[in-house]
Structure formats: C-alpha cells, structure tokens
A and B are shown apart, each in its own frame.
Chain A
Amino acid sequence: MLELRNITKQYDGKPILAGIDLRVEPGEVLALLGPSGSGKSTLLSIVAGLETPDNGQVLWAGVDVTHTPPHRRGFGLMFQDYALFPHRDVFGNVAFGLQMAGQSSSQVAARVSEVLHLVGLDAFERRDVTSLSGGEQQRVALARALAPAPHLLMLDEPLGSLDRALRTRLLAQLAEILRAERLTSIYVTHDQEEAYAIADRVAILNAGQLAQIGPPQELYRQPASEFVARFLGMQNLFSARIEAGQAHTTFGEVPIANQKPGLATLLLRPDSVQLGTQGPFTLSGTLQRKQFRGSLWLAEVAVQDAVLALELPSSVRLPAVGESLDISFDPAEAVRIFRND
C-alpha cells in the first residue's frame, strides 16, 4: 500500500505542499479533493515520481521509493489532458506500457484487446487518436493506464474536460471498472459529487495541507472545519457569538451544549429541520421562496435578519410564499459549530 510521510514541496519559495501524511490501503479508491491550486496535482506528480519532494518520503509496501524514477515504480497515471501520443494509433497508445515491460507481441495484443473491451472501445485499435472525441480519448487514456496492470492507478481530473452528461455516464463506468479490477487508486478531482461517487475515502486538500480525510458520509455529516463545509457546498453558515450555552446569531439564540464562550461559525443542516413545532427547538419565520424538486422542497425561510435554506420532504404542505410558518430542529443533530478562535 502507499504511504506518504510529511511530504513538503515549494515552488519559488511558495509552499505548495506543507507536510502531507497519507495512507492508501490495498484495493482502496481514495479521492483527493480540493480547489484548484491546493496542491493536488503536485502531490500526484510526487507519487508518480515526476517530481521529487523537498522533504518527506513516499513508501510503497514499506519500501522508500521517493527517489525511484517513474518508469521503475510500476504506477499508472492518467493525465488530465490525457497526453495521448499523437503519432501512435489507439493500439499503439494502449500497448505502450506493455511494450516497455518487454511483453511478447501476442501478450500485448491480447491485453490491449482485453482493456479496450473493458473501456468499451472494441474495434478502435487502428483509429487515429487525434480523430477521437473527448470521451473516446478519455477512455483510451484510461485503457493505456490500466493495460500494464499498475500497482497503483492515479487519475488526475480524468473527467475534467468533458461535458456534464458525458461525465455522469463515464463516472459510473469508471467506478465500475476500478471496483472490478480491485485497483488501489488515487482519484484527483475538484468536484465533490465525483469524489463521493467513486471513492471509499475522500481526502480534502486546502492550501497544501490535509483539511480532512474520511469516508464520504463522514465528511458530509461531520465536516471538520468551516473550509470543508463551504467547500462541500453547504449552505446556512452563520457567524455566531457563544455565551453561556447559547449561540447568538442573526436568526436568534440557539441552545448548544459543551461549547466555551467565543466566536464561531454555525452550520445549520438544511435536511435536519422539520416543519411545525414538534422538534426540541422552534423558530418562527416567513416563507420567502419555495421550489418543488420532486423528492423534496427547497424552501427559503426568513427568520429575523437571516434567510435559512431548508430541504423539506415533498410530502409536507407548505403555506403560500409570504405567509408565516414555524420550523423546528434538534440542535444536537442539526447544528455544528466551527470555532474561529
């Protein structure tokens, strides 16, 4: 398995990676998620051996490979822009790694048709790679990375340049392939939905540091910081002043337990709030907007000086826009506090 110890990297004195510790278990798909410029691609290049870290170690199965050149690592990397060889056809691209490994031409041919079948590109062997569509190029790049059966497969924003519909379709296929091949993989992306869909665990990178690592559900239920919450697209983040078991916010005071006084950011989960007064804590407000989304209602409720975004089951009956309504929730479940001090 892969282990990274205290990986540090600077460019022109600017820190890109500041002490990354990370383990990827055998057969695990780890998503590396972060905004652009957070150091994801640099980390990937270091694992692949295309760059060396200023400090720290890359270990594979307990062996230090930090200074092993890329062609001796046996890792696969699928580039964001695919980097297909323009002078080789589809077969020539996919066969490349096998030929470098010195396989016989019959072995090469068999494996190439096997992986091309896996990615759904049978009969594409003699096609010119420059004549392929974006989705086809993506699959050739994947086949090329898969063909030598790498110990570790790295994918750098593999769906980045494709359109939405194609992404959704290829994402499902990709997840299936990774699972079927039981490949240890690192999947770099800036799209949380992609990360959720494909990964066993997600590592969130922020400005060269790991912000949080864990299974997708854990990230979603328990974001470790305001950055993670914002990055995962969570709404209802309010600044709050905490005094004597109460959080003072623009929509009123919310009782919270086990928090010292001070400044914080409060997250109210949109899906943990119900209509009516049955919950332990009730707020009154005015319905400002409602949108029917099939399985749920998206509602915006003005409470004092704030607007809360809520996700309510589509079975509830909402009043007309502009009318008042009560909402309630259990602070222990619906509220999360990120300390700012």
Chain B
Amino acid sequence: MRKLAHWLWLPPLAFLAVFYIYPLASIFALSFREGWQPALLQLLNDSAIHRVVGFTFWQAFLSTALTLALGLPAAYLLARYEFPGKRLLRVVSGVPFVLPTLVVAAAFNAVLGPRGWFNQALLAAGQQPLEFINTFTAILVAHIFYNTTIVLRMVGDFWSRLSPRIEQAASSLGANGWRVFTRVTLPMLAPALAAAALLVFIFNFTSFGVILVLGGPRFATLETEIYYQTVALFNLPTAALLALLQLLCTLVLTIVYTRLSARLSRPVEQRAPRLRLLRAQPARWLSAAFLAALALFFVAPLGGLAARSVTRLETDRRQEAAAPGFTLDYYRALGDDPRNNIFFAPPLRAIQTSLLYAGATVGLALLIGLPASWLLSQQQPSRLARLLDPVLMLPLGTSALTLGLGFIVALDTPPLDLRASPMLVPLAHTLVALPFVVRSLVPALRSIRPRLRQAAAVLGAAPAQVLRAIDIPLVGRAILAAALFAFAISVGEFGATALIARPEYPTMPVLIYRLLAQPGALTYGQAMALSTLLMVFTGGGMLLIERLRIADVGEF
C-alpha cells in the first residue's frame, strides 16, 4: 500500500510539472532572455506599463471599496436580524459568483447595453440612450455584482457569530452607538473584514472578461494588456514581462490573504445569538427597501438576459417582417453562421466545442484529481503529501491569462508542440479546475471513516457489499460533484481560452465575446441566446453540486 501511495503522486505531480511549472518557467526565460537589466529597464521606463499597473490597482481598489460599502450594511442586517426572504437573498447574492464572466457581461449588456432593455425603452420614449457599456462605471458595477457575496458571506457569517452581549457590555460601560461600533465591533470584525476585502481585491485585480467586454479598449489592466500584447501585437516578450508582474502581485496578495484567513479561523465567540426582528419604523422601511434593491440588483441582469434572449425589441434589416415581441428566432438561429468567415463559427458549433472540451476536462481533472485527493485524504498523509497539498493549489493563485500565455510560450515548440492539439484547451481548463476538484473530493473521501465500513460489516455486509453500499455511493456523489465543478469551470472559462483556443473552434464564452462586438440585431440575439444557455449550463451544474452535497459529510 505504501509503495502504491508513492506512485499515485506521479500523475498529479507530472501534470503540474509539465503544464504549470514548465510554462511559468518559460515565461521567466522569455522575460529575462537578455538578462535582468533590459527587463528591469523596460519596467522602469515604459510609461505605458506604469499606466496599466496604476489602473489595475486603481480599479481593483475602487471596486473593492464600493463592494464593501454596499456589502457591509447588508452583512450587518443578515448577521443581526431575521427577515422574510433572508435565505433567498443569500442564495441570490451567490449566483453571480459562480457564473462565467461572459454571462455577466452579456447580462449587463442585455439590461444597460445599446440594445438592452433600458436603452431600447429610452429610445422608444424618444430619449437619449444611456452610455454604460465601455465605461469605467460598467467595470465597477460588474465587479460589485460579482463580489458582494464574498462580503456577505465572510463578514456576515463572522459578524453573526459575534455575541451582541459584547456590544451590550460596551454600552453598559457608557459607550454610545458610534463608539461601540468603532471601538468594539469594528476591531472584532477586522480580521474578517480585511480577509474579505483582500479576496475581493484579488478577484478584481485579476479580472479579465469584465474589463475586456464591459470596459472596452479604453481600459487596460495587466490582464487585458497581456491579452492585447499577445493576440493583437504578438509581442510575447512584453506579454511575458507583464505576466511576471501580474504573478508577483497576485503572489504577494495571496500570501497576505492566507495569513489573514488563518487568523480568521480563530473563533472569537461561537454561540449564535438569537436574531431580532427590526422594529423601529423608519429603520425598518429603509432596511427593507435597501435589501429589496440589493436583491433586484442581483436578479435583474440575469433575468434581463434570459428575457432578452426570447424578446425582439427592434426589427432586423434582414428580417423586415418580424415584429417586436416574444420570439424563439435567436435560438433557432444558433445554427447559422452570422458572418460566414473563419472567426465566426455558428453558435451551435461553439456549444459542441465547449461540451467536448468540458468532457475532456472532466476526464482529465478526475484522472489527476482522484489519486491526489485519495492521498490527501489519508489519515496520516506522508511528508510528500503534506508538501504537495499547497502545490496543488498553486494554479488558483495564478491568473488565467498567465496560464494561457505560459501555454503559448512553452507548448508550441518540440518536444511539446501542442499548438494544434485539440487537448490544449482541456489541459488549461484542467489546470484551472484542479484545485476545485481536489477541494471537493478530499472531504468526501475523508468522510468515509473506517467506522462506516465496520458498521456495515457487523450488519452482515461482505466486503464486496461494503464497497457497493458504502464506498461507491459516498465517493460516487463526490466524484459527480467534482465532475460538475470541472464541467462548469470548463464551459465558462474565458481568460486562458481566449488566448489559446483555435480561431475556427471558439468555445461558448469566446464566441459570445465576438458576437457582442458585432453589429446587427440577430447577432446580438444569438449572443443573448448563447449566454442564456451558458448561464443554464453553469448555473445548473452549480445547483446540482449543492444538491449532491451530503449535509454533514465533513469531519465528525
């Protein structure tokens, strides 16, 4: 058994070495191909790079601050009060987080874009349309939309565990409301607040799809600049340098975050206090209005997207006869190639491509994730296992663009020329999915305590029956959940795919991006329909994962 354990490390280790370490090393090599000085000089002197870095930090900072401003009052209300629809608000706020960036971009486009609900209504009323797409506001709003749930969950959960007695003690000692908040509540919340803020910042810092699609060409962050340098200018050395800078920043941020969240797990006060009902009349109505607006903010874009995909708001030049109103034309048109050139595959083929890639990703991720998870779930993991646990999580701290660039730089020359291989995209997706797959498998594998097998044996189950009745059902669900994770990540992945997908075989997110950039009502409708389908695929996958989770399968 011990011997086997050492061999089981081989697949995950080899995979990470070839598809993670080697590409990153290639980025290093490319950046420093002429030594340290030229690279350093370019970093120091290139004012374009300075602007990009400055804007990356600025948008991430502003997005984070606004997310906190919106999330904290809601976290407070969730933590301290009972109100109807509370569970629903929690669920609804979490939905954007699991959706692909292209779905979110398309959703905001469906509501506030030039062809969206709001502007079509303005046009119909003879008003000037509102400019939202390709503005800084769009970036900020989408980031808030994505990350508010982090504040609600991390700060809200922590807050709800803080006993209100501590605050009551402070006010009995003479502190007024403001002082209780600043001197008692805020310091106690600080670790959760800092960890949530940092996590939101990291997500905003590495955000790609939102900035590319909603911000447009006027806004360049490290991520979009890597994309631009690679795809448009084919300036790989500069892209590599930017990727290195990005890697350094995320590395520092991730290390600080890990430190902070370790402090967070130290319980302050574990007893859940009884929740109150908000009674004071003005506060009550104000809170209700705020929470309702928040819920609407989470629901409206997604609902707007789905509705827009089945509603014609304007007549297409090519379809003069078609009247505005309910239509399934956009779905019927999924088989049509809108532009009929190499960059515009019919949406149906993109769906096919995405599903094939997702299938391959699921297979690969399980092939590599299962042995790794099995080893990590052992009662006494070997020293190797403990070392490789953080290594497996590494891709999580690396931006998708950096991973994609690494593939381009490293895997296009012999001995590993995978440029034309259909496995290139699934390999990248597997890298992105692996941490999630491992994280969902390990607790499930751990939950199969030897006790359960013993209990089954004592009840008369022969070894084969134990396998069938205990091991397979318990692991089976976990494997299914992990597979769904890999599937949802693969169909939604945009950053790495945008760099490495073959032009004639775009995936769903890549094609949505292309369609949104094109004129024409039918093209727009196709984008809406394709985005809605992608939303259903990923949302449905995540919903299934929730349902598969065995309530209390963790450590006893």
Are A96 and B469 within 8 A (Cβ)?
Answer: yes
Is the C-beta of B292 less than 8 angstroms from some C-beta in chain A? Answer: no
Are B551 and A70 within 8 A (Cβ)?
Answer: no
Are A148 and B460 within 8 A (Cβ)?
Answer: yes
- Chain A residues contacting B452 (CB-CB under 8 Å) are 83, 85
Contact of A97 among B449, B451, B460 (CB under 8 A): B460
A124 to chain B, nearest CB (A): 16
Please judge, given known A-B contacts A96-B469, A130-B551, A130-B552, whether A85 and B460 are in contact too, CB under 8 Å: no
Name which of A48, A83, A128, A145 has the most chain B CB atoms within 10 A of its CB: A83
- Chain A residues contacting B454 (CB-CB under 8 Å) are 48, 50, 70, 77, 79, 83
The proximity string for A residues 89-101 relative to B, scoring 1 for CB distances below 8 Å and 0 otherwise, is 0000000110011
Contact of A86 among B457, B461, B553 (CB under 8 A): B553
Closest chain A residue to B476 by CB distance?
A87
B462 to chain A, nearest CB (A): 5
- Chain B residues contacting A96 (CB-CB under 8 Å) are 456, 459, 461, 469
Give residues 132-148 of A contacting B (CB, 8 Å).
144-145, 148
Give residues 165-210 of B contacting A (CB, 8 Å).
none
B460 to chain A, nearest CB (A): 4
Contact of A71 among B449, B460, B474 (CB under 8 A): B460
A141 to chain B, nearest CB (A): 9
- Chain B residues contacting A76 (CB-CB under 8 Å) are 458-459
Are B458 and A50 within 8 A (Cβ)?
Answer: yes
Is the C-beta of B556 less than 8 angstroms from some C-beta in chain A? Answer: yes
Are A87 and B473 within 8 A (Cβ)?
Answer: yes
A334 to chain B, nearest CB (A): 46
CA distance A50 to B455 in the complex (A): 10
Are B459 and A97 within 8 A (Cβ)?
Answer: yes
Are A50 and B457 within 8 A (Cβ)?
Answer: yes
- Chain A residues contacting B550 (CB-CB under 8 Å) are 86-87, 130
Closest chain B residue to A94 by CB distance?
B459
Contact of B459 among A50, A87, A130, A148 (CB under 8 A): A148
Please judge, given known A-B contacts A86-B474, A86-B553, A87-B473, whether A100 and B451 are in contact too, CB under 8 Å: no
Is the C-beta of A35 less than 8 angstroms from some C-beta in chain B? Answer: no
Please judge, given known A-B contacts A87-B473, A101-B460, whether A79 and B552 are in contact too, CB under 8 Å: no
Closest chain B residue to A100 by CB distance?
B460
Is the C-beta of A131 less than 8 angstroms from some C-beta in chain B? Answer: yes
Give residues 278-301 of B contacting A (CB, 8 Å).
none
CA distance A232 to B193 in the complex (A): 53
- Chain B residues contacting A70 (CB-CB under 8 Å) are 454, 457-458
Q: How many residues of A contact B (CB 8 A)?
A: 29
- Chain B residues contacting A128 (CB-CB under 8 Å) are 551
Is the C-beta of A75 less than 8 angstroms from some C-beta in chain B? Answer: yes
Please judge, given known A-B contacts A77-B455, A100-B465, A130-B552, whether A83 and B449 are in contact too, CB under 8 Å: yes
The proximity string for B residues 377-393 relative to A, scoring 1 for CB distances below 8 Å and 0 otherwise, is 00000000000000000
- Chain B residues contacting A56 (CB-CB under 8 Å) are none
Please judge, given known A-B contacts A70-B457, A77-B458, whether A86 and B470 are in contact too, CB under 8 Å: no
A89 to chain B, nearest CB (A): 11
Is the C-beta of B477 less than 8 angstroms from some C-beta in chain A? Answer: yes
- Chain A residues contacting B451 (CB-CB under 8 Å) are 79, 81, 83
Is the C-beta of A262 less than 8 angstroms from some C-beta in chain B? Answer: no
- Chain A residues contacting B470 (CB-CB under 8 Å) are 85
The proximity string for B residues 474-492 relative to A, scoring 1 for CB distances below 8 Å and 0 otherwise, is 1001000000000000000
CA distance A97 to B469 in the complex (A): 11
CA distance A95 to B91 in the complex (A): 36
Closest chain A residue to B477 by CB distance?
A87
Is the C-beta of A313 less than 8 angstroms from some C-beta in chain B? Answer: no
Give residues 94-131 of A contacting B (CB, 8 Å).
96-97, 100-101, 128, 130-131
CA distance A49 to B460 in the complex (A): 11
Closest chain A residue to B456 by CB distance?
A96
Is the C-beta of B447 less than 8 angstroms from some C-beta in chain A? Answer: yes
A84 to chain B, nearest CB (A): 8
- Chain A residues contacting B552 (CB-CB under 8 Å) are 86, 130
CA distance A100 to B458 in the complex (A): 10
Is the C-beta of A69 less than 8 angstroms from some C-beta in chain B? Answer: yes
The proximity string for B residues 202-246 relative to A, scoring 1 for CB distances below 8 Å and 0 otherwise, is 000000000000000000000000000000000000000000000
- Chain A residues contacting B474 (CB-CB under 8 Å) are 86-87
Closest chain B residue to A96 by CB distance?
B459
Contact of A69 among B447, B449, B455, B457 (CB under 8 A): B457
A228 to chain B, nearest CB (A): 31
CA distance A171 to B220 in the complex (A): 71
Please judge, given known A-B contacts A130-B551, A131-B551, whether A83 and B455 are in contact too, CB under 8 Å: yes
Is the C-beta of A74 less than 8 angstroms from some C-beta in chain B? Answer: yes
- Chain B residues contacting A101 (CB-CB under 8 Å) are 460
Are A75 and B458 within 8 A (Cβ)?
Answer: yes
The proximity string for A residues 55-84 relative to B, scoring 1 for CB distances below 8 Å and 0 otherwise, is 000000000000001111111110101011
- Chain A residues contacting B551 (CB-CB under 8 Å) are 86, 128, 130-131
Name which of A50, A79, A86, A148 has the most chain B CB atoms within 10 A of its CB: A86
CA distance A74 to B454 in the complex (A): 13
B453 to chain A, nearest CB (A): 9
Name which of B447, B456, B474, B477 has the most chain A CB atoms within 10 A of its CB: B456
A285 to chain B, nearest CB (A): 48
- Chain B residues contacting A130 (CB-CB under 8 Å) are 550-553
Are A48 and B447 within 8 A (Cβ)?
Answer: no
Are B461 and A71 within 8 A (Cβ)?
Answer: yes
- Chain B residues contacting A84 (CB-CB under 8 Å) are 455
B468 to chain A, nearest CB (A): 11
A145 to chain B, nearest CB (A): 8
A227 to chain B, nearest CB (A): 31
Are B458 and A48 within 8 A (Cβ)?
Answer: yes
Closest chain B residue to A74 by CB distance?
B460
CA distance A313 to B36 in the complex (A): 94
- Chain B residues contacting A81 (CB-CB under 8 Å) are 451, 556
Chain A contacts to B: CB under 8 angstroms:
48-50, 69-77, 79, 81, 83-87, 96-97, 100-101, 128, 130-131, 144-145, 148
- A-B contacts besides A71-B459, A130-B552, 17 pairs, CB < 8 Å: A48-B458, A71-B458, A71-B462, A73-B458, A74-B460, A77-B455, A79-B451, A79-B454, A85-B452, A85-B469, A87-B474, A87-B550, A100-B456, A100-B459, A131-B551, A145-B459, A148-B459
Please list 14 pairs of residues, one from A and one from B, whose beta carbons are closer than 8 Å in the complex, sorted by A's number: A48-B454, A49-B458, A50-B454, A50-B457, A69-B457, A71-B457, A71-B458, A71-B461, A71-B465, A77-B458, A83-B452, A85-B452, A100-B456, A101-B460
Across chains A and B, which 5 residue pairs bring their CB atoms closest together, nearest first? Answer: A97-B459, A130-B552, A100-B460, A83-B451, A130-B551
